[in-house]
């Protein structure tokens, strides 16, 4: 058997420990598939003595993770430190520049510095791989970059954050308020103490920017992702959506619109018969549309020790097999810089929810605002809300220009009959 | 730019024509992703003059497809002739033995001769790739062989035949009999004039045997696939299944059961909240369970010109990139010969439907037969059938040994109260 592929592992949190365990548990299988053993030789983490239920004695310990880049007994550096800059980025650059392959699960780093790292890897003729950075165990990087490589892909979208999906699923199934589920998830360790990366959509935006680049052959453009999270979602929205045949999900959506790049993270109404609607709990799901293949749909666990370790080691197996394709599916120099799409050109159906004073003439005011901007209404429901005396009005528009709906909404907000902040969500009609 | 990858294409049916069209339409995109142009240089088909809406003038025409194997202007032979033996097999062997890469969509050939072809490819150090052979445009070969390579996979299953899925979906949605939908599908060209490969499950069995080998690292064993098709499914079964919360699908299921190989193609009751249940019409869908990644689910179009061409060209892009991994994910010599699982060890819940004379004591007879073999009943429905005067009895068993359910069924069939052939189906409880 040829010489082993030797791994230097930076970061021994859940995922890092999972990688060590996987390479031990499935050592024979991985060696058969990789055509040679894949072995950890050196590890680094902040705290050597933290209990991880792992015997670290077989591995060289390195206090400063960036030193992994210079070790002669390391062929591949696996970066699981996290953070867009700082030690993760230093380690990544040094490793690649030293000619070592780099495997990372760090979506924030890739969203900000992915092109720089990929160009360095191409210049050195080494591999940069990141299957674990998006959608956990789902091999979506491989599917977009290799499996769909024959296709012009103009749309990719999905549920890329397990915490948000878990919160929305529990709100719906157990009829709980957002804040209640979030607090429970934090207590149970499913959500971070500072949950804003997840629930404000930033984590989804990082992943979306990576998928868009890979799908469209375009340069990563994290800065142009319009991002809205799930804090404003109320149980009433979930109920109204369900009554109308939809389920609310935090959707990351990227489109190549006639050579412009549309990227948005937002809560959206997904029809119940769409496969995304059925991806519940902490699952991730991705749909991608190719001009020859049509729509492909992928679903699996998006986070956690096992799925993420599975993705990291899949990259290691590819590297062991000698696969060193371009990190973004084509040379960085061949990626197109797409201008940002004009959101004003967007059309679709929209969901609107308003809290209004329960008095005569209010509905006439609301519907006039829509009429004034040429927006027609597909359905409208008004319900009294016993506690406050206010009423809730929910509307679904026909397909309309988004700017027109926004203008209507602004006009409605000028009315003193509208008492709460209105909610507007997109309907996923594809 | 480096020299182009030159393709010799055998077979110009829908898929072959689709490959030619894709390589023309997406030539620039494919070249960017493959790092070099991918061009067809020579083609072969039975009838040169058939109208395909293709200009064949740019390509050398070869009357005898097997001659593609010897051409100096061909790097990769794409075999789209079909058939497990005959010219397809001759072409495949000659091409590989001549050191050319082979791409094929031929599941029958692979199910019967895949190991022989893979061993030849390994001996010559060339590529044998077959993404298009299973589940059309879904990159399931790549997902199992590469994306899930870190995992011990013990179960893979799915809907692998679009014709069967289309027939079952139309029977349910339009309340039509099997024979009616089949005849319409044949008239519309969706189903073959001789539909038995599809509706008797043989096509699914070919694909399943390939997936099992790749998933389990085992030798292809098409001969041990127990195969049952959908001819016996009646509208009454679909209705009863729906009333109980299930949808009937033709499922190919392979499991590694403690080192034995279980492979079965059969109509099964899929719970409505299982993602397989939502894959309707001509869609294909595959679920695979890995020890670290958990269950991954893939869905997409399983046949047709576009999806199949997409899969063929994905293989060509990999070959253009220099990827020549083992066809079955590890060397053929490393694949395990798993003994066939004993079906008698199978346990599960089962659906039974019987047509019985509507007279006192019949239910007592049926339930006694189950009791005599230790099978307990989870639910039972009896309905009178006005036309014949007979009654229909539908039962769902608790988890039981399959042999016990079969023995009960045999005992019931001995009763003169049972007037029609009973139907027994598995319930997919995972």
What is the per-residue pLDDT for A387? Answer: 72
State the burial class of residue B407 (Cβ atoms within 10 Å of its Cβ: 0-12, 13-18, 19+).
Answer: middle
Enter the DSSP assignment of A256: E
Query: With contact defined as beta carbons under 8 Å apart, do B302 and B282 qualify?
Result: yes
Q: Which of B23, B135, B147, B303 to substitute to test the interface with A, most A CBs within 10 Å?
A: B147
* Contact (Cβ atoms closer than 8 angstroms) between residue B329 and residue B214: yes
Task: Tell me which chain A residues have a C-beta less than 8 angstroms from the C-beta of B292.
Answer: 18, 22, 26, 137, 306-307, 309-310, 313
Residues of A in contact with B129 (CB under 8 A): none
To 5 degrees, how large is the angle CA A85–CA B147–CA B251?
A: 140
Q: Which residues of A touch B287 (CB under 8 A)?
A: none
How far is A324 from A331, CA to CA, in rounded Å? 12
β-bridge mates for residue A264, sequence order: A226, A253
Given an 8 Å threshold on Cβ–Cβ distance, is A331 in contact with B35?
Answer: yes
Phi, psi of A411 (to 5 degrees): -65, -40
The answer to whether the beta carbons of residues A118 and A329 sit under 8 Å apart is no
Q: For chain B, give the secondary structure using H, E and C.
A: CCCCEEEEEECCCHHHHHHHHHHHHCHHHHHHHHCCCEEEEEEECCCCCCCCCCCCCCCEECCCHHHHHHCCCCCEEEECCCCCCHHHHHHHHHHHHCCCEEEECCHHHHHHHHHHHHHHHHHHCCCEECHHHCCCCCCHHHHHHHHCCCCCEEEEEEECCHHHHHHHHHHHHHCCCHHHHHHHHHHHCCCCCCCHHHHCCHHHHHHHHHHHHHHHCECCCHHHCEECCCCCCCHHHHHHHHHCCEEEEEEEEEEEECCEEEEEEEEEEEECCCHHHHCCCCEEEEEEEECCCEEEEEEEECCCHHHHHHHHHHHHHHHHCCCCCCCCCCCHHHCECCCECCHHHCEECEEEEEEEECCCCHHHHHHHHHHHCCCCEEEEEEEECCCCCEEEEEEEECCEEHHHHHHHHHHHHCCCCECCCCEEEEECCC
**Is A296–B299 a contact, with Cβ atoms under 8 angstroms apart?**
yes
User: Does A344 belong to an annotated binding site?
Assistant: no
Q: Do A296 and B295 touch (CB under 8 A)?
A: no
pLDDT band at B358 (very low <50, low <70, confident <90, very high): confident
Nearest neighbour of B321 by CB, restricted to A147, A301, A325: A325
The interface predicted TM-score of the complex, written ipTM, equals: 0.96
**Cβ neighbours of B306 in A, within 8 Å:** 291-294
Q: What pLDDT does residue A153 have?
A: 98
End-to-end CA distance of chain B: 50
Residue A114, both tokens = 């992915």
Q: B139 and A137 in contact by Cβ < 8 A?
A: no
Looking at residue B2, its pLDDT comes to 77
Could you tell me which residues come within 8 angstroms of residue B120 by beta carbon, excluding any fewer than 6 positions away?
B93, B96, B97, B128
Structure tokens at A300: 């699996």
Q: Which two tokens stand for residue B132?
A: 């298009």
**B60-61 and A350-357 strand pairing:** unpaired
Tokens (6 digits) for B228: 């049952």
C-alpha torsion sign, points A370, A372, A374, A378: positive
Which chain A residues touch B148 with a CB distance below 8 Å? Answer: 139, 310, 314
Show me where the domains of chain A are located.
5-133, 140-301, 344-427
Spatial contact of A138 and B142, defined as CB atoms under 8 Å apart: no
Bridge partners of residue A354, in order along the sequence: A393
Q: How many CA atoms lie within 13 A of A400 on its CB side?
A: 25
A139 at the B interface (CB within 8 A)? yes
In this complex, is the C-beta atom of A271 within 8 Å of any C-beta atom belonging to chain B? no
A33·B329 Cβ contact <8 A: yes
Instruction: Name the B residues in 274-313 with CB < 8 Å from any A CB.
Output: 275, 278, 290-301, 306-307, 309-313
- The count of C-alpha atoms lying within 13 angstroms of the C-alpha of B23, restricted to the half-sphere facing its C-beta, is 30
Q: Which residues of B are annotated as a binding site?
A: 10-17, 107, 192
- pLDDT at res. B135: 97
Tell me the CATH architecture of domain A140-301: 2-Layer Sandwich (3.30)
Q: What residues pair up with B105 in beta bridges, in sequence order? A: none
Q: In this predicted structure, what is the pLDDT of residue B386?
A: 63
pLDDT in tens, B84-107: 999 999 999 999 999 999 999 999
Chain-centroid distance of CA A313 in Å reads 20
What is the pLDDT, as a whole number, of residue B189? 80
Is there a contact between A232 and A200 (Cβ–Cβ < 8 Å)? no
> Is residue B207 among the annotated active site residues?
yes
User: In angstroms, how far apart are the furthest CA atoms of chain B?
Assistant: 83
pLDDT at B1: 57
CA distance A418 to A362: 8
Rounded CA gap, A125 and A122, in Å?
Answer: 5
Pairwise CB contact (< 8 Å): B314 & A146: yes
User: How many Å lie between the alpha carbon of B175 and the closest alpha carbon of chain A?
Assistant: 20
Topology of domain B344-427, CATH: Alpha-Beta Plaits (3.30.70)
B234-287 residue pLDDT tens: 999 999 999 999 999 999 999 999 999 999 999 999 999 999 999 999 999 999
- Class (C level, CATH) for A5-133: alpha beta
Q: Residue A304 is encoded by which pair of tokens?
A: 């956690």
Instruction: Write out pLDDT tens, residues B298-312.
Output: 999 998 999 999 999
> Region B114-138: what's the mean pLDDT?
97
C-beta of residue B52 within 8 angstroms of C-beta of residue B17: yes
Q: Is the pLDDT score of B46 beyond 60?
A: yes
**Stretches in chain A below the pLDDT threshold 50:** none
Q: Which residues of B370-395 are buried (b: 16+ CB within 10 A; e: fewer)?
A: beebebeeeeeeeeeeeeeebbbbbb
Which residue among B137, B292, B309 sits closest to A296, beta carbon to beta carbon?
Answer: B137
Tokens read off for B128: 């044998």
Architecture of the domain delimited by B152-301: 2-Layer Sandwich (3.30)
Of A307, A147, A304, A18, whose CA–CA distance to B289 is shortest? A307
Contact A330 B18 (CB under 8 A): no
Q: How far is B238 from chain A (nearest CA, A)?
A: 19
* Secondary structure of residue B211 in the 3-state scheme: helix
- With CA atoms as reference, report the closest residue to B103 among B169, B216, B15, B220: B15
- Bridge partners of A124, per DSSP, are none
Report chain A's C-alpha Rg in angstroms: 24
pLDDT at B188: 85
* 8 Å CB contact between A259 and A342: no
Q: How many Cβ atoms are within 10 Å of A40's Cβ, its own excluded? A: 20
Q: pLDDT at position A1, please?
A: 57
Q: Which residues pair with B290 in a beta bridge?
A: B153, B294
CB A268 within 8 A of CB A289: no
Give the 3-state secondary structure of residue A101.
strand
Dihedral, CA atoms, B338, B340, B344, B345, nearest 10 degrees?
A: 10
More confident residue, B122 or B191: B122
Write the CA distances from B239 to A286, B235, B391, integer angstroms: 32, 6, 15
Given CB atoms, is B315 within the 8 Å cutoff of chain A?
no
* Nearest in space to A135 (alpha carbons), one of A123, A144, A124, A148: A144
Residues in the annotated binding site of B for NADPH: 107
CA–CA distance, B184 with B251 (Å, rounded to integer):
23
pLDDT at B359: 87
Q: How far from A159 is each of A164, A185, A194, B146, CA to CA, in Å? A: 9, 18, 20, 23
DSSP helix/strand/coil, A365 = helix
Q: State whether residue A231 sits within 8 Å of chain B by CB.
A: no
Could you tell me the maximum CA-CA distance found in chain A, to the nearest angstrom? 83
Q: In what order do the strands lie in the sheet with A60-61?
A: A60-61, A38-44, A5-10, A76-79, A101-104, A128-129
DSSP H or E segment with residue B48? none
Q: Which of B26, B138, B290 sits opposite A296 (nearest CB)?
A: B138
- How many whole angstroms separate alpha carbon A186 and alpha carbon A75? 38
pLDDT at B190: 77
3-state secondary structure A65-80: HHHHHHCCCCCEEEEC
- C-alpha distances (whole Å) from A214 to each of A111, A264, A296, A316, A383 are 12, 16, 15, 20, 45
Per-residue confidence (pLDDT) for residue A383, from 0 to 100: 85
The model's confidence at residue B35, banded by pLDDT at 50, 70 and 90, is very high
Could A301 and B311 be called an inter-chain contact, meaning their C-beta atoms sit closer than 8 Å? no
Tell me what the mean pLDDT of segment B355-361 comes to: 89
């Amino acid at each position: 058997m040829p010489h082993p592929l030797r791994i230097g592992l930076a970061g021994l949190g859940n995922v890092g420990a999972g990688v060590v365990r996987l390479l031990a548990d499935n050592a024979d299988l991985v060696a058969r598939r990789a055509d040679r053993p894949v072995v950890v030789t050196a590890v680094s983490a902040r705290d050597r003595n933290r209990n991880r239920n792992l015997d670290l004695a077989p591995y060289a310990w390195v206090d400063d993770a960036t030193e992994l880049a210079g070790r002669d007994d390391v062929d591949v550096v696996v970066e699981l430190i996290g953070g867009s800059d700082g030690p993760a980025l230093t380690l990544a650059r040094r490793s690649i520049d030293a000619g070592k392959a780099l495997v990372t699960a760090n979506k924030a780093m890739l969203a900000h510095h992915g092109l720089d790292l990929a160009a360095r890897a191409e210049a050195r003729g080494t591999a940069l791989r990141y299957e674990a950075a998006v959608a956990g165990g789902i091999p979506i990087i491989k599917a977009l970059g290799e499996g769909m490589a024959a296709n012009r892909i103009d749309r990719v979208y999905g549920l890329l954050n397990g915490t948000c999906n878990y919160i929305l699923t529990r709100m719906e199934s157990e009829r709980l308020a957002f804040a209640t589920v979030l607090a429970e998830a934090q207590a149970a360790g499913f959500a971070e103490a500072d949950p804003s990366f997840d629930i404000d959509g930033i984590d989804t935006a990082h992943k979306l920017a990576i998928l868009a680049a890979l799908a469209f052959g375009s340069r990563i453009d994290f800065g142009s992702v319009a991002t809205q999270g799930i804090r404003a979602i109320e149980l009433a929205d979930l109920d109204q959506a369900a009554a109308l045949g939809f389920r609310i999900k935090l959707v990351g959506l990227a489109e190549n619109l006639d050579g412009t790049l549309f990227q948005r993270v937002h809560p959206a109404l997904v029809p119940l018969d769409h496969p995304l609607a059925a991806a519940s709990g902490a699952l991730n799901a991705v749909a991608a549309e190719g001009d020859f293949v049509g729509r492909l749909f992928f679903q699996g666990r998006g986070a956690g020790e096992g799925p993420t370790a599975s993705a990291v080691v899949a990259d290691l197996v590819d590297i062991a097999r000698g696969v060193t394709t371009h990190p973004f599916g084509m040379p960085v120099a061949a990626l197109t810089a797409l201008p940002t799409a004009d959101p004003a050109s967007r059309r679709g159906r929209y969901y609107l929810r308003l809290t209004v004073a329960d008095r005569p003439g209010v509905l006439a005011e609301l519907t006039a605002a829509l009429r004034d901007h040429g927006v027609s209404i597909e359905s409208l429901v008004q319900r009294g809300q016993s506690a406050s005396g206010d009423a809730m009005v929910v509307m679904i528009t026909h397909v309309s220009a988004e700017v027109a709906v926004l203008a209507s909404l602004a006009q409605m907000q000028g009315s003193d009959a509208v008492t709460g902040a209105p909610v507007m969500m997109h309907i996923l009609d594809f």
